[in-house]
Amino acid sequence: MATAEFSPVQDTQRPLAIEARGLVKRFDSTLAVDGVDISIPAGAIYGILGPNGAGKTTTLRMLLGIIDPDDGYRRVLGADDPQDVARRIGYLPEERVLYPSMKCYEAIAFMGALRGLPLPEGRERGKELLEAHGLGHAIDKQIRQLSKGMAQTVQLLGTLVHEPKLVVFDEPFSGLDAINQGKLEVLIRGLADKGTTVIFSTHVIAHAERLCEGIAIIAGGKVPFAGRVDDARDRIPAQVRLETRNSDGPWRAALPTDARRVGDFWNFALPESGVEPLLKALIEGDAGIQSLSIERAGLHDAFVAIAGEAAARDMVTQDTGDSA
Amino acid sequence: MSQSAVRDGGRLSMWRAAWVIARRDFTAILLSKTFIFFLLGPLFPVVVMGLAGGVGAQVQSEASVADVGIAMQSEDVDAMLAAHRELSTQIRGSLPPMVDLKRLAPGESFDARSVLEEGEGSLAAIVTGTLDAPVLTATQGRVARWQGTVGLIAGHARDGVSRTYPPVSTAVVGTSGAAENSGRLRTAQGGQVLLFLLIMLLASMVLSNLVEEKGNKIIEVLAAAVPMDAVFMGKLFAMLGVSVVGIAVWGSTGAAILYAGGQSLSDFANPGVGWPIFFALFALYFAMGYLLLGSIFLAVGSLAATVREVQTLSMPATMFQILVFFFASLAVTDRGGVIEYTAMAFPLSSPFAMVARAAAEEELWPHLLALGWQALWVAIFIHAGATLFRKRVMQSGPRGAVRSSPLKALSGMFRNSSTPSA
């Protein structure tokens, strides 16, 4: 059942904010999530990567206790039932919605009240947060009077108003322009600096690569990889980029059979024997090395290698379509 | 940032979470511009009640049969009843029912006035005296209506072929058992209709509210923070609070109109339990009826993803409730019969039947029993509705979600299933 490969973040002895084992969720006859294992240390920024329909939101909903798994267990902030620690969790769903008739600071206070923050205190904090994020002029405006971006900011502030220890964002960058994506990245880093655990789902690999300490790759309801970003990259060998003066010669025998020529360059995976035997063979074979670089695989390449070309194509398409 | 109540990190209690939801819904509805339309809502039921008058009149004609009692010497009673039977075959429908009230011994007197004023039974008038000099005792209206009829029957009873009719003396009383019953019946019917319309109006509103929040996904924000049962309870009780405001406004307006028109409650037939208790019971039965139906409607709302699906699914529920209402109305005509007891026992018709009973009967203990019974069913309905709500309300996810059909949802309502999302 549990097909996921479990690779917890192992570089620290930090306690786990979330630990899930063998989570399964069926919807009628559809197996939406099939044995998800995830371990997320406290204070980490953790990404859940996968194309639409992969099971990201369903996994997040199970972790938050919105829906219950059919099988497996989850432990969130030390509690078996996430609802027991709901007051220490903040959640921003993919669909950004607030009550249109509410004033901005009231909307923030209401979201805080849902998490146990007394309403008067929530109102005060709401006003402070709006001022701090450049929305002081909108404090008394109704949500319906705001632009989409401003309303998204208000909901984000409502997610954070009660100072949660665990924040879960579902596709937080979706629909934001480049400037606001950058601001959100700064905010996420700031939360992590203060010790808050941040989890977000995304189909934009670049965000995860820039922000995350650990990731889980979800495809078809399974998690083929969960662990540190560096470990994901290490799943595929480093890439060699070679330019030679001579186009042919005995040195060609030193290249792997799957080496591809793109323009003036040869691209191929670094052989398991390492770089020294390769260099020796190229020199002795009179390649006339013009340039040679060895690059560590990017997260996108790792994603392709782990989740497959089809899943990666969906990610690329969505990245182009959704992200500004 | 200061320390706050969130520092303990536990979950909100069910009631506190429900209170957060209810407070938001309540203030949002009350402060909305459309709330004025809600307050104007009772204008429309007035029209509906007018249209439904035919049905009501029919029920009333069935239920408020007013008898004319005969209290004469034995042979006169027999003659009157025989004449009544004979004439009834020729002029059916025009004669009021006549009953053998008392057979008097020679020289025995009978106080028809006090019997009528005691208000027992369904007596509308009493004929005393002799066949040659009958005396009709009744209220002013009935004396005018039946004086000739009694003369006709008495004349026929005295001599079946004669075309002479004895003069009928009259005695007017202020009220009678039939008059009181008729007034109480109108109060019972009015109470039932008002209860029904209020409940249907509010149940529909709470349903619309839920579907809107399901559609725009606010429900996910709520579901992530508090138990779904609390969301369910909060929404239900918020609308109950709104309705209390509405009833207070409508009640005050109605009282003001009555007062301005120079009328008071004493001008209307006194309900069996008296006006203060009747109002209190009405409020309680309204709350019970609303919670019962509202929980059903919320459960229906959790099965539907769109307004169209809601309309489709709520139609059977609405039609069923109308049937229940008519059933309870029918119970008014069968006081003490199987229909009335069935209507009082069946949870959904019980509030209607009991409101009618409060108008018609004096005893209070059946209301305590009924309220306990209804409270039990409210608890059962709310729990069942909340369970279904929790299982189904996260039915649809963000874009690309697969959605089950409502029928599929109904068939799987007792399975722990919902629908996948990205």
Helix (H) or strand (E) holding B193: helix B177-215
Please give the Cα distance from B138 to B170 (Å, whole number). 8
Looking at CATH, the fold of the domain delimited by A16-233 is given as Rossmann fold (3.40.50)
Read off the pLDDT of residues A23-58 as tens digits, 9 standing for 90 and up: 999 887 888 899 899 999 999 999 999 888 888 999
Q: Which residue of B lies nearest to A219 if distances are taken between CA atoms?
A: B422
B348, pLDDT greater than 80: yes
Classify strands B123-129 and B67-73 as parallel, antiparallel or unpaired.
Answer: parallel
> What is the mean predicted confidence (pLDDT) over B92-96?
73
CB contacts < 8 A (A, B): 133
A92, pLDDT greater than 90: yes
Residue numbers in A near B397 (CB within 8 A)? 57-58
Please give the Cα distance from A156 to A97 (Å, whole number). 11
pTM of the model: 0.70
| Exposure string for B257-288, b = 16+ CB within 10 A, e = fewer | eeeeeeeeeeeebebbbeeeebbebbebbbbb
CB contact under 8 A, B6 and A163: yes
Classify strands B134-138 and B169-172 as parallel, antiparallel or unpaired.
Answer: parallel
Q: Check residue A160 and give its pLDDT.
A: 95
CB contact under 8 A, B222 and A110: no
What is the signed CA dihedral for A41, A46, A50, A54, rounded to 10 degrees?
A: 50
B415, pLDDT greater than 50: no
Task: Name the band, by pLDDT with cuts 50, 70 and 90, for residue B398.
Answer: very low
Annotate B350-382 with DSSP letters as a single string: HHHHHHHHHHH---SHHHHHHHHHHHHHHHHHH
Q: Check residue B62 and give its pLDDT.
A: 46
Read off the pLDDT of residues B367-394 as tens digits, 9 standing for 90 and up: 999 999 999 998 888 888 777 776 766 6
Which range is least confidently modeled, A140-154, B45-59, B185-199, B201-215? Answer: B45-59
Half-sphere exposure for A152 (CA within 13 Å, toward CB):
20
Which residue carries 């011994």 as its tokens? B105
CB contact under 8 A, A163 and B1: yes
Please report, for chain B, the start and end positions of each structural domain, with discontinuous segments joined by +: 10-58+180-411, 67-175
Residue numbers in B near A113 (CB within 8 A)? 20
CB contact under 8 A, A115 and B6: yes
CB of B367 closer than 8 Å to CB of B358:
yes
Please give the Cα distance from A5 to A283 (Å, whole number). 41
Read off the pLDDT of residues A166-213 as tens digits, 9 standing for 90 and up: 999 999 988 788 888 888 999 999 999 999 999 999 888 888 889 999
> What is the mean predicted confidence (pLDDT) over A273-294?
90
Which range is least confidently modeled, A201-215, A301-315, B82-96, B260-274? Answer: B260-274
Q: Which of B16, B218, B418, B419 to mutate to test the interface with A (most CBs of A within 10 A)?
A: B418
Which range is least confidently modeled, A61-70, A100-109, B118-127, B227-236? Answer: B118-127
Q: Check residue B416 and give its pLDDT.
A: 39
**Helices marked H in chain A:** 56-64, 104-114, 119-132, 148-160, 178-193, 205-211, 229-233, 275-284, 299-307, 309-322
Q: Which residue of B lies nearest to A30 if distances are taken between CA atoms?
A: B420
Which range is least confidently modeled, B154-163, B241-250, B279-288, B318-327? Answer: B154-163
CB of B11 closer than 8 Å to CB of A85:
yes
Please give the Cα distance from A37 to A21 (Å, whole number). 4
**From the CA of B316, how many Å to the nearest CA of chain A?**
25
Which residue carries 């309900």 as its tokens? B271
Show Cβ contacts of residue B329 under 8 Å, excluding neighbours closer than 6 positions: B55, B59, B189, B192, B352
For chain B, percent of residues with pLDDT exceeding 70: 75
CB of B20 closer than 8 Å to CB of A114:
yes
B95: amino acid identity, one letter: L
For chain B, percent of residues with pLDDT exceeding 90: 5
Please give the Cα distance from B71 to B137 (Å, whole number). 11
Task: Name the band, by pLDDT with cuts 50, 70 and 90, for residue B320.
Answer: confident
A24: amino acid identity, one letter: V
For chain A, percent of residues with pLDDT exceeding 70: 93
CB neighbour class for A287 (10 Å; exposed up to 12, middle 13-18, buried from 19) = buried
Residue numbers in B near A97 (CB within 8 A)? 216-218, 221
Please report, for chain A, the start and end positions of each structural domain, with discontinuous segments joined by +: 16-233, 239-295
Three-class DSSP labels, B309-347 = HHHHHHHHHHHHHHHHHHHHHHHHHHCCCHHHHHHHHCC
**From the CA of A287, how many Å to the nearest CA of chain B?**
50
Beta strands in B23-93 (DSSP E): 67-73
The ipTM assigned to this model is: 0.79
B5, pLDDT greater than 70: no
The average confidence (pLDDT) of chain A is 87
Q: How far is CA B401 from CA A32, A57, B422, in A?
A: 11, 10, 7
Nearest to A240 by CA among A272, A286, A209, A210: A272
Q: Which of B4, B31, B223 sits opposite A66 (nearest CB)?
A: B223
